[in-house]
């Protein structure tokens, strides 16, 4: 990317792909042809959102915000473009009103990305993105898998009004897949009066480990994240990470569908993700950027930082191995 990226990028030149990455169709042969190692993939879908809609605009907002960043990450003293080949595979061709058909399209596209040997980075969209995202990883993996979720909400609803494919069910639906085990599933950051008792009971009955905000406050985010990652990787061959932006205190992410006071600080989340990158992940998604409610685009910028920090921390860790 070099010098031309540095100056033309901050001037918002060109098509708004993520970090000015080349646009490549989610086809294995096309991805292999350019040597892609990581692929941005958008999930502009919010048709099951219970509270404030708008996260379907999240992928575009995150791409736009990325024009204000460089591939060089000061904190890690490295340029990610020197170590990975990042491409942008565009967005799923969402089917309005049909979660099932849209999720099937996501799985199909992600399967092509995995066939090319690339790591998918799914940008939502509502938090149901994890359902097809985790399912696609299961199809691409031979061994058992772990799941780590940062979220204010438990997201273990068995159903909502009879519908099972919803933004409140990423944990529930993922654990129906035999590749995932509740013993290797952890949730970090839940708190507040927007979590139904039934979902808490579901977690307790199935043995999913919850790290509440009270526990994070008492123990510290670094200690909690290390323990959570060790649990997710215990006996597994891969880990799927999902970050719902509403895990952060509402003051840090006003542009999300269900902002809550009392969550993680921005710095705490970035500290946690550094540890996630050090220990390792197989694929990840970010969810619930809703730019209509944002102030100055700060939520979309946080979405960018999550992606860039995860990439840079993982590169740093593998350089030292």
Show the tokens assigned to 267.
Answer: 């710095």
Integer Rg of the chain from CA: 18
- Give the whole-angstrom CA distance, residue 78 versus residue 82: 8
Confidence at residue 132, expressed as pLDDT on a 0 to 100 scale: 98
> How far, CA to CA in Å, does 5 sit from each of 70, 160, 174, 286, 316?
8, 46, 39, 25, 22
Nearby residues of 43 by Cβ (< 8 Å), 6 or more positions away: 59, 91, 92, 94, 106, 122, 123, 124, 125, 129, 285, 287
Print pLDDT tens along the chain (321 aa): 444 455 555 555 667 899 999 999 999 999 999 999 999 999 999 999 888 999 999 999 999 999 999 999 999 999 999 999 999 999 999 998 899 999 999 999 999 999 999 999 999 999 999 999 999 999 999 999 999 999 999 999 999 888 988 998 999 999 999 999 999 999 999 999 999 999 999 999 999 999 999 999 999 999 999 999 999 999 999 999 999 999 999 999 999 999 999 999 999 999 999 999 999 999 999 999 999 999 999 999 999 999 999 999 999 999 865
For 62, phi then psi, to 5°, come to: -65, -40
Nearby residues of 215 by Cβ (< 8 Å), 6 or more positions away: 224
Q: Delineate the domains of the chain, giving CATH numbers in brackets.
A: 2-144+237-320 (3.40.800.10)
> How far, CA to CA in Å, does 169 sit from each of 146, 160, 198?
17, 9, 13
Show the tokens assigned to 86.
Answer: 């990042």
Confidence at residue 2, expressed as pLDDT on a 0 to 100 scale: 45
Confidence at residue 51, expressed as pLDDT on a 0 to 100 scale: 83
CB 58 within 8 A of CB 123: yes
């Amino acid at each position: 990317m070099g010098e031309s990226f540095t100056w033309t990028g901050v001037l918002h030149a060109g098509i708004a792909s993520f970090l000015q990455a080349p646009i490549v169709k989610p086809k294995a042969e096309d991805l292999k042809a350019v040597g892609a190692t990581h692929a941005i993939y958008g999930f502009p879908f919010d048709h099951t959102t219970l509270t404030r809609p708008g996260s379907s605009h999240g992928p575009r907002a995150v791409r736009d915000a990325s024009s204000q960043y460089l591939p060089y990450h000061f904190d890690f003293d490295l340029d990610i473009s020197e170590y990975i080949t990042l491409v942008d595979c565009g967005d799923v061709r969402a089917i309005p009103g049909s979660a099932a058909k849209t999720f099937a399209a996501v799985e199909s596209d992600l399967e092509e990305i995995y066939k090319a040997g690339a790591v998918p980075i799914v940008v939502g969209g509502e938090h149901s993105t994890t359902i097809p995202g985790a399912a696609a990883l299961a199809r691409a993996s031979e061994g058992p898998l772990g799941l780590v979720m940062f979220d204010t909400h438990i997201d273990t609803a068995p159903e909502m009004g009879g519908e099972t494919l919803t933004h409140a069910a990423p944990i529930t639906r993922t654990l129906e897949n035999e590749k995932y085990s509740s013993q290797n599933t952890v949730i970090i950051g839940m708190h507040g009066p927007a979590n139904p008792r039934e979902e808490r009971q579901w977690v307790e009955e199935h043995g999913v480990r919850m790290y509440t905000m009270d526990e994070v406050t008492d123990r510290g985010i670094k200690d909690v994240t290390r323990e959570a990652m060790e649990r997710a990787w215990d006996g597994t061959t891969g880990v799927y990470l999902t970050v719902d932006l509403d895990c952060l205190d509402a003051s840090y992410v006003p542009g999300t569908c269900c902002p809550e006071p009392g969550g993680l600080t921005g710095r705490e989340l970035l500290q946690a993700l550094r540890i996630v990158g050090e220990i390792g992940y197989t694929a990840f998604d970010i969810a619930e950027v809703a730019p209509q409610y944002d102030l100055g685009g700060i939520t979309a910028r946080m979405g960018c930082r999550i992606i860039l920090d995860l990439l840079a921390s993982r590169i740093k860790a593998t350089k030292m191995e």
